[in-house]
Structure 1
Amino acid sequence: MMKLSGPAYLFLLKRMPESWKLQLNRREHLNTLRKQKSDWFLLLKSYIIYMLELSVLILGVLIVSEKYLAPFLVVRIPQGPWAELLVVLITLLVISPFLRALTHNRSKYSGLMLNLWTAKASNRIYLILLTAIRMMLAYSAILYLMFRFLPLPTVLIIPIGIVLLVFILRSKALLKRYWRLEARFMINLNERQMEENLRKIEANQGVRNIRDMHEAHWLDNVLYTFCLRIERDSTLIGKALKDIHFREDLNLIVIRVERNKSKINVPDGSFVLTEGDILRMAGHNLVYKLIRDEQLNLNFVPDSLMTLNAFSRQETLSKAARLTCSGIPIRKESPLAGKRLVDSGLMSVNKCMVIGMERNKQRLINPGSEQEIQPCGLVWVVGEEKQVSKLISENVYQL
C-alpha cells in the first residue's frame, strides 16, 4: 500500500480538475496564513510581557540608585568622582543579569521565532527588528546610567557603553545568574506546587521526572529538542549515526528517528540514515547552524523546536512507545557508580541516553562517552518509559 501511494497521488493529480487544485491550494494557503498569524500573536504577547517585566525591574533599580544609593554614597564620599563611579558599578552589577536576559531569546518563544523565520522571508525583517529593539533597550539603560552619574564626554560614553553591552551579550555567567534568580522566583511563586514536587521526589527516593520540574529548571534553559528532515543529496544519507559525531562536534544527540511514519526511539550508533528521515535531536539550540550547512541539506520541521519539559509533556499524549526524561540519583552502591558512560551499558543494554549530569552544583550537558558516573550525583537520561523505569529500579529501588 505504501508503495502504491506515490503513483496513486500522481494519477489523481493529473486527472483532478483545475478548480479542485486551486481550491485545495487556497485552503492550504489560508491554513498557513492562519498559523502564521497565530504564531505572531503568541510571539508578540510573550515578547511584550517579557520585555515589560524586565524593563520594570531595570527601571526600578535605576530609580533606587538615583534616589537612595547616590545620595547615600555622595554624603560619605564627598571628594572626587568616586561616589558616582561606585554608584555606576553597583547598579551595573545589579541590573546586568536582567540586561543579559533582555538580550537573550527566551526559550518560550524561540520556537515561534524559528517557525516564522523559516516560513516566510519577509518575516525575518520584523524578527530582526524585534531583536534590535531589545538590544537598544539594554543599551539605553547603560547609557542613561553613565550619562547620569559619570562626568565624561559623549565621545567616550558611547563606545564604553557599546563595550559593556558586548560584554553582557557574551557573558554566560550573567545568563546563569538570571536563570538562578528566575528559578528562585518561580519556586517562591509556586511554593505549593514545589512542595508537592519535593514530596514526590522524596517518595520516589530522589528520582525526578522533568515533567514535574518547574519551567525555570536548568535543563529547560539550556536544552532543546527539534526535528530536522534529511533532504536529497544530503551528505548524511547512507551514514551510520556513530560516524557522524553529532555529540562530539555539536553536543547534540539523536533521541528519535521518524521513518515512513514509524518512530525509532533512541537509535544506536549502527543506525543508518536515509533520505526523508526526520531526526529528533536534543541539545543546544543549533538549528540555524545546521540548516545553513548546504552539505548536510537539512530542513527544519516547523513547530518542532521546544524545551525538554514541553517535549516530555507532549509525549504523555502519545499512544505509541513514549520517550521520557528522568533524573536518577547515583548512590555509592549503585551499579552505575564509578563507571564510564561507554562501559555503563546505558545505551547498549538499557537503550537510554544520558543528556545531563549534576553533582556539587556542577552541571554537564550531553557528556562524552569517557565521562565517569560519580556517586552522590544525578544523571538525567532519555529513553522509552519501560527502559527508564527498569534502569531506575536497578539503581534506586532494588538497592
Structure 2
Amino acid sequence: MNPIEATSQITQHLHPLISDLGLILMTAAVAVLLFKKIRQPLVLGYLIAGFLAGPNFIFFPSVQEINSIEVWAEIGVIFLLFSLGLEFSFKKLMKVGGTAAITALFQITTMIVLGYLVGQWMGWSLMDSIFLGAILSMSSTTIILRAFDELNVKGKKFAGIVFGTLIIEDIVAILLMVLLSTIAVSKQFSGMELFESVLKLFFFLILWFVGGIFFIPTLLKKAKNLFNEETLLIISIALCLMMVILATKAGFSPALGAFIMGSIIAETIHSERIEHLIKPVKDLFGAVFFVSVGMLINPNTLVEYAVPVVVITLITIFGKSISTMFGALIAGQPLKQSVQSGMSLAQIGEFSFIIATLGMTLKVTSDFVYPIIVAVSAVTTFTTPFMIKIALPVYERLIKILPKKLIDAIDRYSVNSQSVKTTSNWQIVLKAKLSQIVVHSVIIIAIIILSDRYIIPMTESSKFGNAAAALVTSIIIAPFLWALSFRKVAVEQIEALQKAGKHRGPIMVLILIRISLGIFFIGFLLNNFLSPWIAFVALIAAISVYLLFPKKLNTLYNKIELHFFRNFNDREISQAQKKRSDLTPWDGHMAFFEITKESNLAGKALNELEIRENMGINIAFIKRGGITINIPDGNERVFPGDEICVIGTDDQVQIFKSYLDQNEIEVPELVQETAIILKQVELENEEFIGKSIRKSQLREKTNGLIVGIERNEKRILNPNSDIILEKNDILWIVGNEKLLTAFFEK
C-alpha cells in the first residue's frame, strides 16, 4: 500500500469522528451564545443542542457514529468529576457541620424512598424504580451556583446550609454509584454483598486519601520549579487518569477515581492553579457529555410518557423542597432558613445524569427513563430561580397559617439545638481511638496485600525468599503497627476521664483491641510467608523488637505523620492564592511584630511580599522610629527595626507568624500601646449615605481604612471604593482610635 492510499484510508476512518465532533461543538457554540443572551443555564442549552444534533431531529444534520460520541461523553464525565473533586476537598467535608449532614441525609433518604415508590406506582420495573430514587436524590451544584450568583444570595445564612448539603450529596452520590453497580451486576439485594461493597469502598477511599496526601503534594512541591501552565496541566491530567485506572482495576467506576484524585489535589498549594487550567478541558468535554445526553431526547417518548414527566417533575419540586426543609428543621435550623434551603434544592442535575448514564451503560434501566430524566431536569432548571425567589413569601405565608404553638416550638427547638454544641471527653477519646484503629489497619492490610502480590514473586526463586519478603514487609509496617498498638492519643481527655472515674472499662477494652489487632497483623503476615512453627517463633521475636525499641519506632512514625500533616495543611500554611479568604474584620484581631536586622524581608515592598494576597492579612500600620505610617500602600517598604501591626483571625495570624519566623522576625513586647484600632461603626450620618466609599472621603477624614461592611445579613470583605454606602451599614474601619472616635461621635 502506498502512502497516498494509507493516508486516504486514515482520512476516511477519521472523517465521521471529526465531523461528528465538529457538529456537536458548532451546535453547542450556538446554544452557548443563545443561552448566555437569554441568561439561562448553559446545561440546558447543551441538552437542546444535543437534541438538534441527535438522530431524533430530522431537520438538522445528525451525528453518524454514536459509539464514538459515547467515548467522548465518558471522558466528559471523568473531567466533570475531576473538577468537582478539585472544588470539594476533604477539608470542606470536615468543616461541614451536623446541620448540612443531617439535612442532606434526610433529604436523600426521603427522595430515594419516594422515587422508588413512585416508580412502582407507575408500573416501572424494580431497577427502574431504584435508579429513579437515586436520580431524584441528587441536586445540581451548577444550577444552584448560577441562580445564587444571579439573585445575589451567596452571603445569606441559608446558602451555607445549601453548599454543605451539596458537599454531602457529592459523597453520597459516589457511594450510590458503587451500590447501584453492585445491585445491577448481582441482580439481587444481598445484604452481605452490599456490606462488602461499602466496606471495600471505604477501604480504598481511606487508602487513596492517605497515600495521595502523603505522596502527591510532595511530588508537586519537588517539581514546582519545572512547572509552567503546560507541564502542570499535563501532570494533573496524568494523575487524574492514573487514579481512573486504579479505580477501574479495583472494580469501581472511572468517575470515582477522577473524583478522588481531584479531592487529593484540592489539598495542595497548586489546587487553584490546576482548577483554572483544567476548566477549559472540563468545559469542552463537559459540553460533549451534556450534548450526548440531549441526543437521547426522543419527542415520541416524551409524548408517550408525558404523565410520568409531569408526575416526576412535581415529585422533584415539592418532594425535595419539603424533605430538605424537614431535614433542616430536624438539624435545628430556624423555619426561615429551612424553607429557603428546601426551595433552593428543588432540581436534579449533573450527578443525576451520571447515575442515569450508569443505568444505561449497565443495561439495567429501560430506554424511556433517560429522556424522562432529561425533561425533568430541563423543567426544574427553569423553576429553580423562581423557587428561590418565592422562598421568603412562602415562609411568611407559613408563619400566618401555622399554629402559633407550633411556630414557638420550632423556635425553641432551634435555639436549644444551636446551644448544644459541646463534645464530651469520651466522644473525643472514642473518635481518636477508632480513627487510629481504622486508618492504621487499612495501611497495614494494604502493605501486606501489595507485598504478597509484588515482593513475593520477586523472591520466590530464592531459598530464603519468603523469609526475606517477610522481613522487608515487617520493616515497612513496623511504625504503623507500633502506632496502632501503643501510640497515645487524646491524652488530656483520657486523664480527665480517669480522674473523674468514668469509662475506665471501655477505655481498657479499646487498648486491648489495639494491641490484639497489632499481634493479629504480625501473625497474619508471618503465617502467609512462613511455615506455622517458624511464624510462631518469628512472632515472638517481632513482638520483642517492638517492645525493645519503642523510641525509635515512635520517632520514625512521628516523621511519617509530620510529613503527612505538613502536606495536608500546606495549602493553608502557604496560602498560595487567597481567593476564598477567610479574613473577616468581625472576627479578626490585631497582632504586632518587629523586623530584625537579619530579616530576609527587609528592604522589600509590600506588594512584592504579597502578604494580603497569600495569607489574607491586612497591615494596619508600620511604626518606624517616631513616625507611624497608617494604612501603608503596596509601594511602602519594610526596613530593619520597623514595628508592624497586622489584622487577621487567630489561624491567619498564626500562619503569618510561622512565615515571619522563617525570615527571622521577632515579636516585641511593648508595641501594643499603639492608638491604631479596629472599630465597628453603624452608618447613620446622612452625609455619607448614597455615596461611594471613594466619594465619601471617609479615609481622608478619619485617616482609616474600611476593611469590611455588614449589610442585610451579608458580609463584604475588603470592599472596593466604588461600593455605595447605605443607611444602617455596619462599617469595620481600622485607623487611629482618637480620630475615629472623635469623628463618629461628634
Whether these two folds match at TM > 0.5 is: no
Length-normalised TM-score, structure 1: 0.39
**Higher share of residues assigned helix:** 2
**Higher share of residues assigned strand:** 1
